Every structure is written in C-alpha cells, then in structure tokens.
C-alpha cells in the first residue's frame, strides 16, 4: 500500500483519467488544481471541447471553478484518446441493465482503450461502483489479454468513489 500511495503522490507522475463525468471530472480537475499533470479522456467530442475551454458539461456546485483553474494552469487537458501515463483512473458509469445486473461495457471499453498504453510500473485504478470481483475479473483480465504482464510490476486496484 505504501508503494501505491508514494506513486500517486509523486510530482512527476502523469495521470490519465478515463471518463469525465460526475466522478472523473471532479477527480481530474482537483488533481490538476493541486499541481499534478492530468490527461482526461472522454468518448464525447462535445465534453472534451467544453472542458478544454475551461467549462463544464454537468451541473455540480463550484466544479466550474476547479475545471477552469486546472485547465488554465496547464495541468489538465482532455481528448478523445488516452496517452501514456503512470496512473490510469477508470471513472466510467456502471448503470443497471433491465434485468438489474450491472452493465460493465463501459469498464470493458475503457480498459481496452488504455491497454496499449499500460507498461511496467503503472497503476490502474477502477474508481467506479462495480460488483465485487470486477477489478480482477474484468480490468485485470482485459489487460492480461492485451499483453500486459501483471506479474511484472503493473498494479491494479479498486477505489470506491470519493470525490
């Protein structure tokens, strides 16, 4: 645990937040306002363009101030594609399907999107409401299928939503 905490807090660490909604956008902008370099990713061009203008696309009190500050500082930018990073935070929705089972398709898509960029020493955090086992059975499994050697210092973790 100490290794992960030291890695998250290092000033030179690059962070990539996948999903810029109600969890990902506050997380990315908060990190950006604290001086950390953050690359945000969303599948919506409208969302990406709005954030890069220092504006927000969701209603959340005072979030507009954080986003504007993070973007203007040069610490936070958004795009449609991930980049290499040291820490990847997957903050995508897990809505319920009609049969009341969680829809993990967004988690799967986000993991496949970052897999080509994950390398030794990286930390991948699933920050989403998801069923027990999702981190190992979905995220870690997809990374492994896509050539990531989880036995070679690639760390995968789950973090309940906290921002």
CATH of 2-158, one of 3.40.309.10, 3.30.450.20, 3.40.640.10, 3.40.50.720: 3.40.50.720
- Tell me, what's the pLDDT at 152? 78
Domain coordinates in residue numbering, the chain:
2-158
Which residue ranges in the chain fall short of pLDDT 70?
A: 1-12, 161-163
- Tell me, what's the pLDDT at 160? 78
* Whether pTM exceeds 0.75: yes
What pLDDT, in 10s, does the model give residues 42-85?
999 999 999 999 999 999 999 999 999 999 999 999 999 999 99
- Tell me, what's the pLDDT at 153? 81
| CB-based burial, 73-93: b 16+ in 10 Å, e otherwise | eebbbbeeebeebbbbbbbbb
- Tell me, what's the pLDDT at 13? 84
């Amino acid at each position: 645990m100490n290794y992960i905490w030291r890695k998250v807090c290092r000033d030179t660490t690059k962070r990539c937040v996948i999903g810029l909604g109600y969890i990902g956008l506050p997380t990315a902008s908060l990190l950006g306002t604290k001086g950390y370099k953050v690359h945000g990713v969303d599948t919506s061009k409208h969302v990406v363009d709005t954030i890069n203008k220092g504006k927000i696309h969701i209603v959340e009190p005072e979030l507009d101030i954080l986003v504007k500050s993070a973007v203007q500082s040069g610490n936070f930018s958004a795009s449609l594609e991930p980049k290499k990073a040291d820490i990847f935070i997957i903050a995508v929705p897990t809505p319920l399907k009609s049969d009341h089972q969680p829809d993990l398709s967004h988690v799967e898509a986000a993991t496949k999107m970052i897999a080509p960029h994950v390398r030794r020493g990286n930390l991948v955090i699933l920050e989403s409401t998801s069923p027990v086992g999702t981190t190992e059975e979905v995220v870690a499994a997809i990374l492994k299928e896509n050539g990531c050697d989880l036995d070679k210092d690639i760390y995968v973790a789950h973090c309940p939503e906290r921002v």
